[in-house]
Structure 1
């Protein structure tokens, strides 16, 4: 694997550890067999090492033909932070082959141990590269908002993860589905949105915009600043999954997940066993 860029170069020992961690996660994804946590290699809370692993895996995916289409913000909801035992957000990379249309069933064979979250997605009209990247600039860069389901997943057995584990594992990314109702921010206030999510008609999660770092636009501003610091700024046309509006729910077999978000309508994903 190539060495990471956009980060301070680690020591030789750390470099060896990040490569070993990336190889472990890559093998788990390829073999569809969850692996042991990578924190014994890179530490539980070494932010630079964890993102270095993530960048190695991103380079591997791009080298295999995948295209980056955006970013995801994780661990924005206090409920999800409690579920995973962490206390800060993270980010991961969205690739083109992670996107499913609502009318395309999601094969469970693509996933290892999936869970689902309801979120607000933003699609950017302008780059977020220069300037203060404050709330006003970030808001002005948004083309539209849309309801989203993020299907999170973990290559680490039993979701036995710390902050370092999930960051290294592309922020526990899996797949995502976008709704069809697009709203500009002059007609939709993300902080005021309310969410209800169900699986086969059974309610499994509720939440609101304020649960996402106080406002999904605050989460977007955090991401814009953080990715710029890592040398990977957000670009026009990219999709940003801004973070869970409430607790995630496990996908335990075939079924249909629907999330209703006020102002954005609904978004649905049907999971099938092949």
Structure 2
């Protein structure tokens, strides 16, 4: 696949994002779309948003839990770039009109105090580089029509990044068993999902290590000051205008979000 086609597909995603209008999956119409091609399309899509004024503030890992893999029929993790325009402050309403087909994920966010440069990054190295962890919502959103995605589609689409909300509480990770931390997620006052930290590739810090090592192969570090979302701890929750979500992670904190 040529660099011209990478740019063409990236432009399609950018226009779909701007206009909130989904497009047909690339996997059904772009013959020979490899994973490497998909990440090059992602880079062009992200570059278009940066050219329009956004900045890189972190990274995210997607498709880490069995529940999400089963829901999307995608069998390996991926990663995307968090941009400044994706961040909503805790308590700030999220307009549904700004999204296409949003679904909410409860996750553990890592706040880095040191760079992580793969390869060779381990769980212990991740914990040593982490200033704090906190609860967060990632609201994933697909520019691919009807979420009819394969791995190449979601990778190209910046790992289906939508927006995210960070909880206000932050705690040092070193005294926690992050794999055992239990999450509960309520939608409109009723229990909608439960999960534990181990849902994210066995341990949330292992998920961050996977990302650091994968990016290291591309010469890209995780940087001090970045926030990294470690992956959903349960199945995705579809949301519409009027929905209110609240999640709690034992030992870590809580996060709430409302859609208008």
Normalized against structure 1, the TM-score is what? 0.91
Identify the match of residue 173 of structure 2 among 178, 185, 201. Answer: 185
Question: How many pairs were matched up?
Answer: 260
Q: Is the 8 A contact 1:42 1:50 kept in 2?
A: no
Q: Is the 8 A contact 1:205 1:247 kept in 2?
A: yes
What whole-Å deviation, never above 9, does each CA across 1:68-122 have from its counterpart, x for those lacking one? 0000000000110011101110000001111111121111111110000000000
Query: What secondary structure does 2:146 align onto?
Result: helix
1:18 offset after TM fit, Å?
Answer: 1.5
User: 1:32 maps to which residue?
Assistant: 20
What is the CA RMSD across the aligned residues, in angstroms? 1.4
1:203 offset after TM fit, Å?
Answer: 1.4
User: 1:194 maps to which residue?
Assistant: 182
Unaligned 5+ segments in structure 2 are: none
Is residue 259 of structure 1 aligned with residue 254 of structure 2?
Answer: no
Is residue 233 of structure 1 aligned with residue 221 of structure 2?
Answer: yes
Identify the match of residue 48 of structure 1 among 32, 36, 47. Answer: 36
Unaligned 5+ segments in structure 1 are: 1-12
- Of residues 114-123 and 229-238 in structure 1, the stretch that sits farther from structure 2 once superposed is 229-238
User: 2:113 maps to which residue?
Assistant: 125
Query: What secondary structure does 2:212 align onto?
Result: helix
Q: Tell me which stretches of 4 or more aligned residues in structure 1 moved more than 4 Å.
A: 41-45
1:265 offset after TM fit, Å?
Answer: 2.1
What whole-Å deviation, never above 9, does each CA across 1:30-72 have from its counterpart, x for those lacking one? 2211111122454586110000000011111111110100000
- Of residues 38-47 and 110-119 in structure 1, the stretch that sits farther from structure 2 once superposed is 38-47
Please list, as runs of the form range in 1=range in 2, the aligned pairs for 1:113-262 lying within 5 A after superposition: 113-129=101-117, 132-262=120-250
Q: Is the 8 A contact 2:90 2:256 kept in 1?
A: yes
Mapped to 1, the partners of 2:80 and 2:121 lie a distance apart of: 19
What whole-Å deviation, never above 9, does each CA across 1:207-261 have from its counterpart, x for those lacking one? 1111110000110000111112122210000000000001111002222111111
Mapped to 2, the partners of 1:204 and 1:44 lie a distance apart of: 39
Query: What secondary structure does 2:124 align onto?
Result: helix
1:14 offset after TM fit, Å?
Answer: 2.7
Query: What secondary structure does 2:179 align onto?
Result: helix
Mapped to 2, the partners of 1:243 and 1:98 lie a distance apart of: 16
